A and B are shown apart, each in its own frame.
Chain A
Amino acid sequence: MPTIYIDNKPYEVKAGKNLLETCLTLGLDLPYFCWHPALGSVGACRQCAITLFKDKEDTQGRIVMSCMEPVKEGACISVSNATAKAFRGQVIEWLMTNHPHDCPVCDEGGCCHLQDMTVMTGHNYRRYQYKKRTYLNQYLGPLLNHEMNRCIQCYRCVRFYKDYAGGEDLNVFAAHHHVYFGREKDGILQSPFSGNLVEVCPTGVFTDKTLKQHYTRKWDLTAAPSVCQHCSLGCNTTAGERYGKIRSITNRYNGAVNGYFLCDRGRFGYEFVNDENRITQPLIRNRVPEAVDEQSLMDHLKLLLTQSRTLIGIGSSRASVESNFALRQLVGSENFYQGVSLDEAALGKLIASILQSGAVHTPSLKEMEQADAVLVLGEDIWNTAPIMALSVRQAVMNSAAANALQQTSIAGWHDAAVRELVQDNKGFLANAGLTASPLDDISTCTLHATPHDIAVMGFAIAHAIHPGLPEVPQLNNELAAKAAQIAKALQQAKRPLIISGPSCYNEAMIKAAFDIAGALNTGERKAMLSYVLPACNSMTLAMMQAPSFEKSIDRINDNTVVIILEQDLYRSIPPAKANAFFNRCKNLIVLDSLHNGTTEKAQVLIPAATMAEADGTLINNEGRAQRYYQVFVPTTGMVKESWKWFWQMRSLQTSSGNGLELHPNDWLTKLEKTLPQFNGISRVSYPPEFRIHGQAIPREPHRYSGRTAMLANLAVSEPKPLQDNDSPLSFTMEGYPNRPPASLIPFFWAPGWNSIQSVNKYQQETGGALSGGDPGIRLLEQKTGTPTAYFTDIPEALPAPRNKWLLLPAYHIFGSDELSAYSAAIRELCPEPYIGLSTQDTAELGITDGKNITLVAEGEEYTYPLKIQEHLCNGIVLLPAGLPGMPALTWGSWATIAPSLKNNAV
């Protein structure tokens, strides 16, 4: 490790870094704008100036940009000498000449990097007295607000949006004193990662429009570490509340998972918590529905639960591990099911058993970014696991950069130089899917085909890599050629990554993905295999091997009590089937947070807490268990975590205790004992008694406007501080004032660093792991070097039934997820229902784009407008999955299509 001298003090530092990263890693305060740990350096803003001396004798030195200067053995620099300070002071003064100084009305105020840097450089008096340049702002859609006057031309927005995330509709226009960052004209930003601009932009140009609807300063938020609930990746988030409403979701850095970024569904999909449709009061539907208090509820439940009836529990892929396990304990393992269709449960089980076998390594998102060849087999990750798509993009870009850098001495952080060198070169990505995906733009090899063809191509790749595996009979030429190309590229890689998932409802595809990864895993080559799952906690139910609730139907009679946990079964199976199921349930208890088709059917409806009012654990697609913490205690209603309700019910059965004895960690300890596949999960968090120097960790920053203001919407008298018995967090601003352990960070803040850039102060090194290690406990580790068994059952091509189409779901980042669609802004971005067919099929049927057509599946008719899918292969009909108001269908079944007679007359 080289030694460098900063202000005459020696430091041992990491080689290969630039001096800005190095200083920040050492904990020094050095201002910057254009550099970003995920975006690298371009040396554009001149804010990070330091003095570099020739040697120890040199007293003069010269100004250099620390972000552009590599660490060199023996380098002598000064951060604090007068010249460097004056230079930085000047730079900020210039930048501020045009800045509107409108902090009091700016949403960024209080978490603004520009404010922090201005204070840090000591610029506090405005000398410029002339006109400022002004701009017209643009309408950028429902998610982001645009206020161009605040821009300081750091270029971070376009560098993130275009270079990092591949967006095409945000750009920079004009030059010198009137540079403009925006779209070519007003309109909705197209990238699903646009929300990150809120954090990437160091000023208030791009701010969260949803926060604006119920604005609260960062210092007035009560916040807690949370985990995104909107897909299976489990990105870490910070949820902030005031007056009983979640106000915003911001990124919670986790070096192994989401890093610095979230997708827009995760960032803006929080408003279900605040929805008017929330269930807050228990309800008993006798002859007339009646809202009841807790005592009446318990009396009623006692009657229901204790008359030696069979209990059937239906676990939920959007409820916590604790709630699912508590339900399983309440009803008994043989009576525990999950609320997904038979097919989905089988696919989940297959994925879990592959990963649990330990034959291959399943990577974190961070590891995926290091892959040097990627194959996506049939999963539409852009829509089902957005941040994974962003990671795959980084893998493609990083491996191109790594290739280019081999022949030069340019450092990887030298962003502009690296891009110049790389030009349009890309690393290897093969993207196989049903239809077009934005990832196609960066893939070397693209395939749009049926699930069957994708799967057999997968088996052909596996065979090409490992000739001991069976050959695919009668493979067509296109698939054979692609298989050979892909196999070759994967074999040349050192860290190949295979991604698949259940969204095509095809088992063979999942198996083929495993075979490829297994076959690649030889010698030096470390293959990675990642599966996407349908929901944020699907992994838990898959690991519990819970069967589909469809299997329980025959067991239900008038004497059975069915308990459904936090989900709408109408989203899992077609309405007719669901109705048949509910008709059998005479005693139905439903716990959920929002009214839906299933809660309508409940005899007893119990208000369940959302992630904002609950502590709980989720297991993501990588098998990483992560805890989310309660953000606030609702002041009205009787909302409680489902696991608490279940334990209360249990105490009714056993007539002992009050049901409040167990904390989340106790549940996890019990779980480990009952189901050893969850071993280690209880280490996911600290016990509620955990204290640092006797102090809990405050959810509120110390600059919170004060306790008397906490509930100012209701009363100005100081409420008694609430107790948190389930976690080491406190509900006030009092507590341990310094950096808490990584999994317990309620918000990022450091002295002088109010913006999210304060993350620097929480990491071992900038852009690296959080101090003390990134949060989460991985439950699925690789055990063996190469698999001992492969899947050899290559499916035969079945001819499609005459005039039938294979019915498959099309996923939409906005719309396919249940809870995020409650946010008005997300709702605005959801597509309208449609029926998608290939161009050729459409022509043969003689129907026109946009006209209503009717799909007949399992005897039911569904009429929606036709949307021609240019890249879809023939013989498949796509319907958007999970859109609000659209019924569930039996995916993977055969359907017929008729030009519709209905509505076309209009």
Chain B
Amino acid sequence: MAFTEDKLKKVQEIIARYPDGKHKSALIPVLHLAQEEHGGWLSSETMDYVASLLKIEPIEVYEVATFYSMYNLKPVGRYLFEVCQTGPCMVNGSDQIIDYIKEKLGIGVGETTTDGLFTLKTVECLGACGYAPMMQLGKHYREHLTKEKVDQIIEECRSKATSLN
């Protein structure tokens, strides 16, 4: 894995935001960039590459990348359902939502459908408790989830995928 010229320039910009010798501070945004560029997930090669860009040890990248649920350490489907399972969402039925998605897509948590379209992930509070139960899909929150809403979302994704193909 290697960034294009363009992205490398972006990396330099990010590094320049921080004081001299504090390259490591650029780690999180650079990882996001790498994830975007690399099909939505971070392989160890990608992480090692980031380490070399920032002149830090690979272990320093791994500790950060494994900490945040926003980084995927396994390949993911085109549509990533990140369902909140923290207290407020749970009491509002996130368990049932998760079970329903599992049943509907025939996958477990952390798994991807065979067609490569969907991955189901559970995450902790996304700060939208007032709209519980909820999930994050790409850059958007989908709130007040019900089984019907889940059906709708899945349909939406499928048709988007067909139109894109």
Contacts and interface: CB of A to CB of B under 8 A. Distances in A.
A444 to B, nearest CB: 15
A605 to B, nearest CB: 51
Interface string A162-188: 000000110111111000100110000
SS class, residues of chain B in contact with chain A: helix
A171 B63 CA distance: 7
Contact of B62 (A168, A176, A184): A184
B66 A174 contact: yes
Nearest to A180: B66
A322 B98 CA distance: 75
B67 A175 contact: yes
B151 interface: no
Interface string B62-76: 110011110000000
A175 B68 contact: yes
Given A173-B62, A173-B63, A176-B124, A168 B57 contact: yes
B59 interface: yes
Interface residues of A, number: 11
Interface residues of B, number: 11
Contacts of A173: 62-63, 66-67
Contacts, number: 24
Interface string A223-252: 000000000000000000000000000000
A176 B68 CA distance: 10
A661 to B, nearest CB: 61
A168 B57 CA distance: 9
Interface in A136-183: 168-169, 171-176, 180, 183
A184 B58 contact: yes
B67 A174 contact: yes
Interface string B29-60: 00000000000000000000000000001111
B124 A171 contact: no
A173 B124 CA distance: 17
A77 B68 CA distance: 39
B62 A171 contact: yes
B67 A168 contact: no
Contacts of A180: 66
A18 to B, nearest CB: 28
A674 to B, nearest CB: 57
Nearest to B124: A176
A64 B111 CA distance: 42
A171 B58 CA distance: 11
Contacts of A171: 59-60, 62-63
A168 B62 CA distance: 13
Interface string A69-80: 000000000000
Interface string A664-686: 00000000000000000000000
Interface string B57-99: 1111011001111000000000000000000000000000000
A172 B68 CA distance: 13
A184 B124 CA distance: 25
Interface in A699-732: none
Contacts of B69: 175
Q: 5 tightest CB-CB pairs across the interface, nearest first?
A: A173-B66, A174-B66, A184-B59, A175-B67, A171-B63
Interface of B: 57-60, 62-63, 66-69, 124
24 contacts: A168-B57, A168-B59, A169-B59, A171-B59, A171-B60, A171-B62, A171-B63, A172-B63, A173-B62, A173-B63, A173-B66, A173-B67, A174-B66, A174-B67, A175-B66, A175-B67, A175-B68, A175-B69, A176-B124, A180-B66, A183-B59, A184-B58, A184-B59, A184-B62
Given A173-B62, A184-B59, 14 more contacts: A168-B57, A168-B59, A169-B59, A171-B59, A171-B60, A171-B63, A173-B67, A174-B66, A175-B67, A175-B68, A175-B69, A180-B66, A183-B59, A184-B62
